[in-house]
Amino acid sequence: MFQLLPALSLLSTSVYRDTPGYVDPADNGGASLAYLLSPTYPPGQREPLNIIISGKSDPAVLEDQINNGGLKNYFLSLNFSTNCFSAKDVTAVQVANLGDGNGDRNQTEVMRYNFGNADNGACTEVIDGGNHFRYWRQNGSDANTGAVFIASSYEFPLDKSHDIVPNGYNLGRDYIVGNITKSTVPTLDLTQDGARYSGATSYGGYTYNTTINYVSGLLSNTSIGINHNATVEIPGVTNAVDGLVAVFEVSITGRPDGTTASPANSRSMSASATTSGGSEDGTPTTYAPSLAFMYTITGMILTIALGQQGW
């Protein structure tokens, strides 16, 4: 029995490795496009799911939690925080069907670029604009890959009603990749052939290695039917959606002293032999209660001022 266990885990790992770590939502009635619950013009415009965190990533990263190096801690390593305090309540809800048998599901959460300030930087993004994303987990019983599907876009400031900047879907994706690799992704020169990158990020004592593989076939290279398409496409230069999805495979290559990988993490533990360096230490900073209070008040004022506006 004891000798069987390693054999069994080897078997499940090798089955896992043969798949890309996600299932194309369109294979089973879904789509790599989210729709909005609020009205669009024309009606029914959608937004691209342009990043996937593959189910082949470290199982700890695929857990939607901040502890144990989980997804929220990984997002913090990318300088993305949960929404700005009470402003969360009025963030527009988007819906996606990942073809996993769960049907239409509201976004799990919205994450906002925090400019390196984990505590309240997301409020800066709400006011000044910037990168943000919604995400969904492919965890229904028909395709329980554990993959995380992300719809990223770069938005204008609040006083421009949070419209998406020109090329803002493709750029939202590529700024995240560029932040991981510390070098600008040549968005307008990407081809269907599939660029590959990798980089290290860290937060809270955890270091992550993300390998990135651009894939085509999940999204169309088009502006038709895409939300804000008239202003996001750059005529003659790029469609609102260039048809590429950046697939991330994330491993944990460093963890705080005294913590260990869970037994399920055998694949990522072997990857930790190739540890990389050169990442910032993302130790959480503390902030004074008065500042927290100020941001809460700001959030409340925003909440009242904005009503159901789509941000």
Ligand X SMILES: *[C@@H]1O[C@H](CO)[C@@H](O)[C@H](O)[C@H]1NC(C)=O
Residues making contact with ligand X (CB under 6 A): 37, 42, 45, 64, 78-79, 93, 106, 108, 113, 116, 130-131, 137, 139, 175, 178-180, 183-184, 190-192, 198-201, 209, 211, 221, 223-225, 229-230, 233, 239, 242-244, 271, 274, 276, 280
Nearest approach, Cβ of residue 268 and ligand X (Å): 10
* Nearest residue to 212 (alpha-carbon basis) of 235, 195, 191: 195
Which of residues 42 and 307 has its CB atom nearest to ligand X in the complex? 42
200 DSSP β-pair partners: 209
**CB closest to ligand X, residue no:** 178
**In terms of DSSP H, where are the helices of the chain?**
4-17, 71-77, 121-128, 168-181, 229-232, 266-271, 289-306
Shortest Å distance, C-beta 288 to ligand X: 20
Q: Which two tokens stand for residue 307?
A: 């009503």
| CB nearer to ligand X: pick between 5 and 308 | 308
Q: Concatenated DSSP letters for 146-160?
A: --EEEEEEEE--GGG
Nearest to 20 by CA among 193, 249, 290: 249
Smallest separation (angstroms) from ligand X to the CB of 19: 18
Q: Three-state SS for 131? A: strand
In the complex, what is the shortest distance from the CB of residue 30 to ligand X, in angstroms, rounded to a whole number?
15
Nearer to ligand X, 7 or 237 (CB): 237
Name which of 27 and 64 has its Cβ closer to ligand X: 64
Q: In angstroms, give the least distance from the CB of 3 to ligand X.
A: 29
Element (H, E) at 104: strand 104-106
Which residue, 224 or 304, has its beta carbon nearer to ligand X? 224
DSSP symbol at 90: G
Which of 21, 130 has the CB closer to ligand X?
130
Peptide bond into 43 cis (omega under 30): no
Element (H or E) spanning 209, and its range? Answer: strand 206-222
In whole angstroms, the minimum distance from the beta carbon of 2 to ligand X comes to 30
Nearer to ligand X, 161 or 283 (CB): 283
Q: Could you tell me the CA-to-CA distances from 286 to 72, 74, 79, 167, 300 in Å, in that order?
A: 18, 19, 16, 36, 22
Name the minimum Å distance from CB 25 to ligand X: 15
